[in-house]
Structure 1
Amino acid sequence: MKVLVPVKRVIDYNVKVRVKADGTGVDLANVKMSMNPFDEIAVEQAIRLREAGTASEVIVVSIGVKQAQETLRTALAMGADRAILIEAASDVHTDIEPLAVAKLLAAVVRDEAPGLVLCGKQAIDNDMNATGQMLAALLGWSQATFISELAIEGDHALVTREVDGGLQSIRVTMPSIITVDLRLNEPRYASLPNIMKAKKKPLEEKTAADYGVDVSPRLSVLKTTEPAGRKAGVRVASVADLVAKLKDEAGVL
């Protein structure tokens, strides 16, 4: 069974995001970029499935700018077998929308015929949380989202989902689209020998036109602003004062 893992190049989660002075977007000049953390967890899980003998091959795919090669090489250094880069934009500030990404991934799935697609539940740059669900709809496959546990049994996947009320265990028929949450695993670090080996692993380059998919944006960003700063806290003399402030000032009671 092949496992396909989409990965996205995003601003590193340790970097403080800066908004451009004119409010047209996020400043990416001299900013460290890395693999989306949720996608990294998906890559780790796919590699574990191959190591356990459940999967035969792990394929990673990234859609965006040419610089996403670095992200794919990171996945290859972790242990993925080969990579596909779909160059769909030339400007690093262009974010391909979830529907276009899902259509491109659907085309890749039809070419590669994987038994399982493991995605991060969302990207930390736009927090869309939509690509996996859209991909499942386009393919007509079963889906399981926000999973924290995964086991493959024959042609079914047993998963534990994190929901508002706690945990939900379900069984889905494969092939399936599964999106992963933070508690599924702890991704491994790529060793230096594996980083060197990754340079020789196959990385195929494609374009959106090769798959006949229009990636023209359907959404437009009107303005980008930084979140408002938190107000300083205040001390209260008694519980009665606290209740009064929560009721009269905060309006939460």
Structure 2
Amino acid sequence: MTAVMTPATSLDCHAHVAPDVTSKQLESLGEVHVLAVTRTLKEAARVARRRDSKLTWGLGVHPGSSEAQSQYDPREFRYLLPRFALVGEIGLDRRGSRTRQHEILSDVLAACADQPVLLSLHSTGRVREVLDVMATYPHPGFILHWFLASAEEVAHAAALGAYFSVNTAMSDEAISQMPRDRVLPETDFPAKSVRARVPGATAALEDRLATLWGTDAAGARAELWRNMKALATRSGAVERLSSSLTGVLMQV
């Protein structure tokens, strides 16, 4: 029997990192890999050519950002898209124009239809609408970030193929509704309620999941990485991921 290896690297599937973060600051994070979402196309353009071993940068249009919504350009999005393995943060939010958010999310998902990417989706206040859009524009790389929904909506999302990035600000009940083989860790740094002091600080979450899943922290981490590997493979995003990240995925 092949031994199961637990990576020394912690995984964070949704965090906000400043586009001018320095190499020294990243080194201070320790053994981590972070999916670093952006809020605007302007921010994404600043990081498009960065190659940081501890980060996978995202191409984002945050639905709760008036700047992101007003400045969205479909041509610029499509120009930037081939440079990214991650699209996020995108989605719908209770703040702002429902019509404009739907226009942008529909355009983003149409552009991503045949692209080997992961997609980190925001759904605050508009869960059912996000699920409807996902059904209209299916993709194998969906990750629902901080998904607060009913058990029925979680089941619907899972049926659409979604994965779920969870954090310590979520209740045990909310996390337990999600299929164990679809759960991924996040901090949503710098979200205060998660209490992660830096991106990648998911040890407390691993402990929570270990208790919920009847294993230990090492077992929980290994399972989270296996989930990430499955998602990266099925979405095709593994083709665009950095060698540092794929190196960890090969261990699990």
Higher radius of gyration, 1 or 2: 1
TM-score of the aligned structures, taking structure 2 as reference length: 0.28
TM-score of the aligned structures, taking structure 1 as reference length: 0.28
